[in-house]
Amino acid sequence: MNRKELINKIQEIHSMLCVGLDTDINRIPQFLKDNYDDPIFEFNKRIIEHTKDKCVAYKFNIAFYESMGPKGWVSLERSLAIIPDDIFTIADAKRGDIGNTSKLYARTFFETYNFDSITVSPYMGSDSLEPFYGYDDKWVIILGLTSNKGSQDFQMQKLQDGREVYKKVIERCVDFGDQTNTMFVVGATQADYIKEVRSIIPDHFLLMPGIGKQGGDLKSSLEFGLNEDYGLLINSSRGIIYSDSSAQFDKSAGLSAQKLNDSIRDHVSF
């Protein structure tokens, strides 16, 4: 999916919502595990059915699938296949290794599974990121300033020139691509810094986790993160897919997605 198509989708349904399919076998309703050979897929299918008209993207945290071995990859592939073509897909894999290895990671998620994008760690530098840029209409989503508490350990440390490490990372990574193929992960829990991020990358899309269970502030995130092309994908995972553990979990997920959309629309003119 190219940038124009993504922006058009946002405008069409008045949403910037990304639903995170971080599907944990230990948290899905028991009746799915008792009655279906592939309960992960059945859970995802029902979530997708009730949220696909309310979101512009789905994000699969790959750890939840690969931890289950071959059957987890089957669940992932089946789930990906039922997502409508006009909805953006994210492989939240956080890959990043030497060039030869990154080339294979890129092949895995852009060719074998045909995701629109992949999250990557920039820690190993340019040769670990460049292989992901060899594909048309595919996106590289770089970890910029993450929502976890541990971001303080390295990302917020200051260099000799007084800049935080995350700023140096973002400034360097904009050289690898542009706003048509590069996004950055910036956590909604880092609302005080979103304005500074926007001063470095005013035109790029930001994938913004942390709204909901992690306590990110939606109003501030929108106030400082929006740009002329909207420029945000607001991700919610647990707050939507685990909003109800009963047999009505899918309907509850749809209602939770709609509620978050309504909150976004209170602050955004589409």
State the Cα–Cα distance between residues 47 and 24, nearest whole angstrom.
13
**Minimal CA–CA distance to 248: which of 29, 49, 83?**
29
Closest CA relative to residue 5, chosen from 106, 87, 120: 87
Cα gap 155→62, rounded to integer Å: 23
DSSP for 40-58 reads HHHHHHHHHHHHTTT-SEE
The catalytic residue positions are: 94
**CA-closest candidate to residue 145, choices 91, 84, 192:** 192
User: Both tokens of residue 1?
Assistant: 């999916």
Measure the CA–CA gap between 101 and 107, rounded to whole angstroms.
Answer: 10
DSSP-assigned letter for residue 116: S
Q: Cite the beta strand spans of the chain per DSSP E.
A: 17-20, 57-61, 88-95, 117-120, 139-145, 182-186, 205-208, 232-236
- Provide the token pair at 35: 């009655």
Contacts of 252 (CB under 8 A, 6+ apart): 243, 244, 246
- As a whole number of angstroms, the distance between CA 255 and CA 71 comes to 30
